Amino acid sequence: MGTDRSPELGDEQEGATYCARHPQVVTYLRCSRCNTPICPRCLVQTPVGARCRECGNVSRLPTFNVTPVYFARASAAALISGLAVGWFWELITPRFGFGIFFAVFIGLGVGWIISEAVSLATNRKLGLGLQLVAVTGVVIAFLFQQLLSPGNVIDLGSLIAAGVGAFFAASRLRVG
């Protein structure tokens, strides 16, 4: 009845070990995979718990892992599709003479075609870099369309279409 169950000085380290990488640090943490003692400085937080650096080597999801080869493929697809779309864009502009309302639909088409080309060239990968490549493809389409147009006059409809196309192309390749 009269016994004091409070821990005595020095007993608070019962069950504690020293970190495998930092032998001077007392820790109560262990790797959830290999059971190695780890301290808060060297732990790697993973979806399944705290792990040591060796076990916690988490790689990115393949959808977001864009290598330089994929960037080269995406750039080639954006260039080719941008030139083709710009050429077709100039073909339909004088015949149909679309206004600002139709410029939105033209922009959606331009953005969809170029983002789809970039997406197919990279096996449906996503990311900020691919968004920039697709927007560059839309800019190439706009510039090529303006280069082919007689008089090289930039009209408001083409600017709106390019802006909508760039926004739509980037939003299709966005992460999350």
Q: What is the pLDDT of residues 63-122, one digit of tens each?
A: 667 889 999 999 999 999 999 999 998 888 765 556 778 888 999 999 999 999 999 999
Q: What is the mean pLDDT of residues 145-164?
A: 86
Q: Would residue 2 count as lying in a domain?
A: no
Q: Is residue 63 part of a domain?
A: no
Amino acid, res. 147 = L
Assess if residue 155 is contained within a domain. Answer: yes
Q: Does 102 fall in a domain? A: yes
**Is residue 151's pLDDT more than 90?**
no
Q: At what angle do helices 156-172 and 128-148 cross, to 10 degrees?
A: 160
Q: How many domains does the chain have?
A: 2
Residues 132 and 45 in one domain: no
Range of the domain at 101: 68-172
CB 51 within 8 A of CB 29: no
Whole-number Cα distances in Å, 147 to 24, 144, 168: 69, 5, 23
Domain match, 120 and 88 both: yes
pLDDT of residue 46: 83
Which pTM was predicted?
0.66
Pair (32, 86) in one structural domain:
no
CB 22, CB 28: distance < 8 Å: no
CA 101 to chain centre: 31
Most confidently predicted of 19-33, 49-63, 96-110, 114-128: 114-128
